[in-house]
Amino acid sequence: MAVTREEVLQVAALARLRLEEDEVERFTAQLNDILSHMEELEAVDVEGVEAIGAVAEWNAPLREDDVAPDSLRVPPSELAPSWREGFFTVPRVAALDVSELDEPFEDKATVPSEGRVEPEDLGGGAK
């Protein structure tokens, strides 16, 4: 059940954490150690046991469809690290992050002016 270095890098990419080399090594060792202790769970007989998802003993309570949001004492503009004319802003999401390429590229797709691009095309990412 060993966790490989590659898996650690994949997991870091999913979790959007950029790890330094020494962190990768340390986490690989520590995750393996922690997970080795979890091995004893495999021996447990869980036959017929319901998984406890939400712990509440009741069903999801339902809220009436009346406009009544919890108020914000300060507007979102004061929380935002970057804000312009009423919008949160981030560097432009691009289907192809040009700065990361070594060689010339062919523009395979442009991003529509509005809407979703696939999640992993945000650029950056652990190498």
Partner 1 sequence: MRPVREIARDVAAGRVSALDVVRSSLDAIEREDRGPDGLNAFLAFDRTRAEASAAEIDRGRGKEGGAKPLLGVPVAVKDNLCTLDLPTTCGSRMLEGFRSPYEATAIRKLREAGAIIVGKTNLDEFAMGSSTENSAFGPTRNPHDRGRVPGGSSGGSAAAVAAGMVPAALGSETGGSIRQPAAFCGVVGIKPTYGRVSRYGLVAFASSLDQIGTFGRTVEDAALLLEAISGHDPFDSTSADRPAPDLTSGIDAGVAALVVGVPKEYFPDELDPRIAALCRESIERLRAAGAEIREISLPHTRYAIPAYYLLAPAEASSNLARFDGVHYGLRAPDARSTGDVYDESRSIGFGPEVKRRIMLGTYALAAGHYDQYYGRAQRVRGLIARDFRRVFDDGVHVIFTPTTPSVACRFGEWVDDPYQMYLADIFTVTANLAAIPGISLPIGTVEGLPAGGQFLADRWDEATMVRAAAALERALKE
Partner 2 sequence: MRYEPVIGLEIHVQLKTATKMFCGNSAEFGAEPNTHVCPVCLGLPGALPVVNRRAIELGVRAALGLHCTVHETSVFARKNYFYPDLPKGYQITQYDRPLATDGWLDVPVDGEADGEPARVRIRRIHLEEDAGKSLHDRFPGETAVDLNRAGVPLIEIVTEPDLATPAHARAFLTRLKQVLEYLEVSDCDMEKGSLRVDANVSVRPAGSDRLGTKTEVKNMNSFANVERALNFEIERQSKVLAAGGVIESQTLLWDAARGEARPMRSKEESHDYRYFPEPDLPPLVIGRAEIEAIGEALPELPDAKERRFREQYGLPAYDAGVLTATREVADYFEAVAAAAGDPKAASNWIMTEVLAWLNQQQCAITDFPVPPEHIAQLIGLVADGTVSSSLGRQVFARMVETGKPPATIVEEEGLAQVRDTGQLEVWVDEVIAAHPAEAERFRGGEQKLIGFFMGQVMRKSGGKADPRQATEILRRKLGG
For partner 2, the binding residues (CB under 8 A) are 14, 16, 53-56, 58-72, 76-77, 79, 84-93, 95-96, 108-122
**Concatenated DSSP letters for 3-43?**
PPHHHHHHHHHHTT----HHHHHHHHHHHHHHHHHHGGGGG
Of the pair 40, 70, the CB lying nearest partner 2 is at 70
Which residues contribute to the site for partner 1 (CB under 8 A)?
A: 3, 7-8, 10-12, 14-19, 23, 27, 30-31, 33-35, 37-38, 40-42, 44, 46, 49-58, 60-61, 63, 70-76, 78-82, 88, 90-94, 97, 99, 122-126
With CB cut-offs between 5 and 8 Å by kind, which of partner 1, partner 2, none does residue 115 bind? partner 2
Structure tokens given for 93: 């999401």
* Distance, CA of 77 to CA of 11 (rounded, Å): 33
Asked whether 91 and 122 are in contact (CB, 8 A), the reply is no
